[in-house]
């Protein structure tokens, strides 16, 4: 396998350029996590500070929630990546790509990385929104970079997962159906919205292997301070690597052209 740099760059750049050319996609990408922060994040604003401290380790729930919302929104990014691929199949653009020396595997890689990168647009917007909600950040440059890299790895993993599952599909509705099956369990059985300490044992078992939990806890340790467990980063890197490999193999073999 040799990496075709020229088509890689062309397709990757296309993914990003199309995002900025399509205000609706951009708006949804930004607004959805912002809504979570504004509405869900405000749901504990009237709770006594002592209760919040005891439950979440901070008196500001939004500060607790921010890393979790950013992590769960990477699931949505995967769904958009899958929808974009199905759009290319239905409008014939996949044929235009594949009637060139470009391989199916490369199409998959650019979709996964392009969609994941697109998802990171949310990061500066959400941080700015959190600042507006009164959150203060005390991260080092390394921690900022590590937080972005954490989310990137998570997004690559989920984009790859979605793309692998929908590789053969040309139905617009498939990514939505897959999203419903994946998003809800992974979002709620994780430490993203609440701590896992009050979960039943079966949910703890899911949460303990859920990449969203690892991404959330790592992000939370950057935002709230405290000990940073860098092994979580390794876990997420492995998750991204394995999903990328599976997606590459599946797409190389089974990616539908139309």
Partner 1 sequence: MTDPAIVVRNLSKTYGSGDRAVRALDHVSLSIEPGTVFGLLGPNGAGKTTLIKALTGITDITEGDASVAGFDIRRNPREAKARIGWVAAEVILDDDFTARENLWLQAKLQSLTNWESRADDLLQYFSLKDRADDKVSHFSTGMRKKLEIALALLHQPRVIFMDEPTIGLDVSTRRMLWDIVTQVHKEFQVTVLLTTHYIEEADALCDRVAIIDHGRILAEGTPSELKARVKADIVQLETSETLDPAVLAAIPGVQEARAQGNDWLIRVASSEGFLPQLFRTVRTDAIRRISVEKPSLETVFLEVTGRRIGEEEPMRDVRKFYMQMARARR
Torsion sign, CA atoms 21, 187, 156, 1: negative
Please identify, using beta-carbon distances, which residue of 6 and 201 lies nearer to partner 1: 6
Q: Is 3 in the site for partner 1 (CB under 8 A)?
A: no
Q: Is 7 in the site for partner 1 (CB under 8 A)?
A: yes
Piece of 12-20, 33-41, 111-119, 241-249 that binds partner 1 (CB under 8 A)? 12-20
H helix or E strand, kind and range, residue 22: none
Among candidate residues 89, 79, 234, 71, the one with its CA nearest the CA of residue 161: 79
Please identify, using beta-carbon distances, which residue of 47 and 95 lies nearer to partner 1: 95
Please identify, using beta-carbon distances, which residue of 4 and 170 lies nearer to partner 1: 4
Q: How many residues bind partner 1 (CB under 8 A)?
A: 25
Piece of 28-36, 85-93, 171-179, 221-229 that binds partner 1 (CB under 8 A)? 85-93
DSSP state of 57: S
Q: Is 168 in the site for partner 1 (CB under 8 A)?
A: no
Among candidate residues 73, 97, 75, 100, the one with its CA nearest the CA of residue 85: 97
* Beta carbon of residue 18, minimum distance to partner 1 (angstroms, whole number): 5
Site for partner 1 in 96-155 (CB under 8 A): 96-103
Give the phi and the psi of residue 55 in degrees, each rounded to 5.
Answer: -85, -45
* Beta carbon of residue 148, minimum distance to partner 1 (angstroms, whole number): 26
CA atoms of 176 and 169, how far apart (whole Å): 12
Please identify, using beta-carbon distances, which residue of 25 and 206 lies nearer to partner 1: 25
Q: Is 253 in the site for partner 1 (CB under 8 A)?
A: no
* Beta carbon of residue 90, minimum distance to partner 1 (angstroms, whole number): 11
Per-residue contact string for residues 86-105; x = within reach of partner 1 by CB under 8 A: -----xxx-xxxxxxxxx--
CA atoms of 211 and 57, how far apart (whole Å): 21
Among candidate residues 256, 244, 202, the one with its CA nearest the CA of residue 115: 244
Between the CA of residue 184 and those of 72, 135, 136, 180, 207, what are the distances in Å? Answer: 10, 27, 30, 6, 13
Q: Quick one: residue 227, left, alpha or beta (phi over 0 = left, psi -120 to 50 = alpha)?
A: beta
* Beta carbon of residue 125, minimum distance to partner 1 (angstroms, whole number): 22
Residues near partner 1 (CB under 8 A) are 4, 6-7, 9-11, 13-14, 17-18, 21-22, 91-93, 95-103, 257
């Amino acid at each position: 396998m040799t990496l075709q740099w020229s088509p890689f760059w062309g397709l990757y750049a296309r993914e990003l350029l199309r995002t900025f050319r399509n205000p609706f996609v951009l708006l949804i990408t930004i607004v959805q996590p912002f809504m979570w922060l504004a509405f869900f994040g405000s749901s504990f604003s009237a709770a006594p500070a002592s209760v919040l401290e005891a439950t979440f380790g901070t008196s500001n729930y939004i500060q607790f929630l921010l890393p979790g919302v950013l992590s769960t929104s990477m699931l949505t990014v995967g769904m958009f990546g899958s929808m974009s691929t199905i759009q290319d199949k239905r409008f014939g653009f996949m044929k235009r790509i594949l009637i060139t020396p470009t391989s199916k595997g490369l199409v998959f890689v650019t979709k996964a990385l392009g969609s994941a990168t697109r998802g990171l647009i949310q990061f500066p917007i959400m941080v700015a929104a959190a600042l507006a909600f009164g959150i203060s950040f005390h991260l080092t440059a390394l921690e900022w970079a590590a937080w972005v890299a954490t989310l990137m790895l998570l997004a690559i993993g989920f984009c790859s997962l979605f793309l692998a599952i929908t590789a053969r599909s040309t139905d617009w509705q498939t990514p939505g159906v897959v999203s419903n099956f994946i998003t809800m369990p992974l979002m709620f059985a994780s430490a993203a919205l609440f701590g896992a300490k009050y979960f039943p044992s079966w949910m703890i078992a899911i949460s303990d292997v859920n990449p969203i939990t690892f991404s959330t806890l790592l992000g939370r340790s950057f935002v709230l301070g405290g000990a940073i467990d860098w092994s979580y980063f390794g876990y997420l890197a492995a998750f991204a690597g394995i999903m990328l490999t599976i997606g590459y193999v599946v797409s190389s073999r089974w990616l539908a052209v139309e």
